Amino acid sequence: MKTANKEITAVSLVQAALEKAHKFQETHHIFTFLNDVEAIKKAAEIDERIKKGENVGRLAGVPYALKDNFLSPEGETTASAHILQGFTSPVTATAVEKLEKEGAIMIGRTNLDAFAHGSSTENSYFGPTKNSKDLERVAGGSSGGSAVAVALDIVSFATGTDTGGSIRQPATFNGIYGLKPTYGTVSRYGVVAMGSSTDCVGFFAQTPEDLNLLMEITAGQDPKDMTTLPDFYGKDNEKFNDPIKKIGIIKDFDNDAVAPSIRKALADKVEELKAKGHEIVELNMPALKYALAAYYIIVPAEVASNLSRHDGVRYGFRSDKSDNLNDLYENTRNEGFMSENKRRIMTGNFVLSSGFYDAYYLKAAKARTMIINEYDDAFEKCDFILTPVSPNPAFKLGEKVDDPVAMYLEDMMSVSVNLAGLPGLAIPAGETEDGLSLGLQLVGPRRSDADLLKFAAEMDKDSHAGSIDSHADIFGGKD
């Protein structure tokens, strides 16, 4: 990650990123907004501060891409939804404030599935983002634009949100690292809400070292977000001090529903870990078969509640076909929401309705508790768990967008991590014969985020040594 200094100007870094952004925007449709004027202005200010010898932060002049569901005054915050067109935020997300306090410069807002509802970025009002390796395939979702921006080396890092795999899956589809932290590690204040009990703010980057730096900057308790945890990130955890790790493999995920290329990538990684002296532990976790069903009851229930605020009265899009208040609500929401948004609202209201709450929502909540307990038991036997992220490599544009069940099945191996509030890290795992990116995920116990990144860096240290020159001892540990 290059930072500005007396030899490398912030303006040159930002200009180079913007040139790439405009070039790839034509082919890949990555951004919903490009911040040309303000980004150059901020870069020039940082260069002036460097000349004066001032402290400009650990991310001085580093261009980054912002998923378009993070609030900030620069550009419209639309969450790639028609109903939020025209909305300019009066507040700034806590994570954005922390990044920019350290000198990072936002060059553009990235495309996503509207309100982060999707696994392909095809549910965007502005059209799909295309895969970094194959223009006929999806970028993954919901954070597809952010993943492609990093994969094409437009920016060193990008923000994302992960409610059921929305960082890890697009990271996997584009061959980069993507971190979903422990629930509550990074403040969600100023991020458009999807499922409040599973939403996590995280990041995409080319290396675990870069992700660690971003987490050091953004992790921590925030009085504006009562779900944030007390500061724990990077503090020494004796449980993980042994260099030889026990890695769990979930037997329930090794089946014919998973593509042969992904099963081979997992088997190859297991052999690699064995060769390095790590112990492999087979895990039987039968409750995980309920994860997808539980997720698509619990999260739509929260979606229905969170999206009820979007009615065209105070901000965003308002239908002009209304003669009274009731019609205003109905027409605005009908025109402003995508089909997938409506599907989740209706599902959520149904499972919460009188007569169905006990049959659906309550059972899903009990299944969630079973899944949490099962993970807790698993981490008594191993340090980390290694699994696929998605059952398939990147699929073709249009292949699943009209089949909700097929699209939801793409999340079958990622949603349980969110339901349990665990950290999950997508790691690159080679390519298919056709050149499509493959990835796997490392999952750790709650609050093991830094140790997860450290282990990933150790696994890949030969190919990514010294990615951040000024942070060679970045995993040195803290008191």
Look at the chain and count its residues.
479
Supply the DSSP string of 65-115, one letter for each residue.
Answer: EEETTB--SSS---TT-GGGTT---SS--HHHHHHHHTT-EEEEEEP-SGG
List, in sequence order, every residue forming a beta bridge with 109; answer none if it has no partner.
Answer: 33, 66
Supply the DSSP string of 282-319, one letter for each residue.
Answer: EE--GGGGGHHHHHHHHHHHHHHHHGGG-SSSSSS---
List, in sequence order, every residue forming a beta bridge with 475; answer none if it has no partner.
Answer: none
Are 170 and 112 spatial neighbours (Cβ–Cβ below 8 Å)? no
Structure tokens at 151: 């994969």
Helix axes 144-151, 10-28, angle to 10 degrees: 120
How far is CA 299 from each of CA 22, 161, 373, 416, rounded to the nearest angstrom? 35, 14, 20, 12
Question: Catalytic site residue 67?
Answer: yes
Rg (CA), the chain: 21
CA atoms of 112 and 130, how far apart (whole Å): 11
Closest CA to 393 of 436, 440, 430, 441: 436
Phi then psi dihedrals of residue 30, to 5 deg: -90, -35
Structure tokens at 207: 């290396």
Question: Catalytic site residue 12?
Answer: no
255 Cβ neighbours under 8 A, 6+ residues apart: none
The whole-angstrom distance between residue 16's C-alpha and the CA centroid of its chain comes to 25
Element housing 205 (H / E): strand 200-205
Dihedral of CA 308/412/417/350: which sign?
positive
List 120, 124, 143, 166, catalytic entry: 166
Structure tokens at 362: 């309550």
List 20, 67, 133, 454, catalytic entry: 67
List 119, 124, 132, 142, catalytic entry: 142
Closest CA to 63 of 9, 144, 136: 9
List, in sequence order, every residue forming a beta bridge with 161; answer none if it has no partner.
Answer: 201
CA atoms of 114 and 79, how far apart (whole Å): 6
Catalytically annotated residues: 67, 142, 166
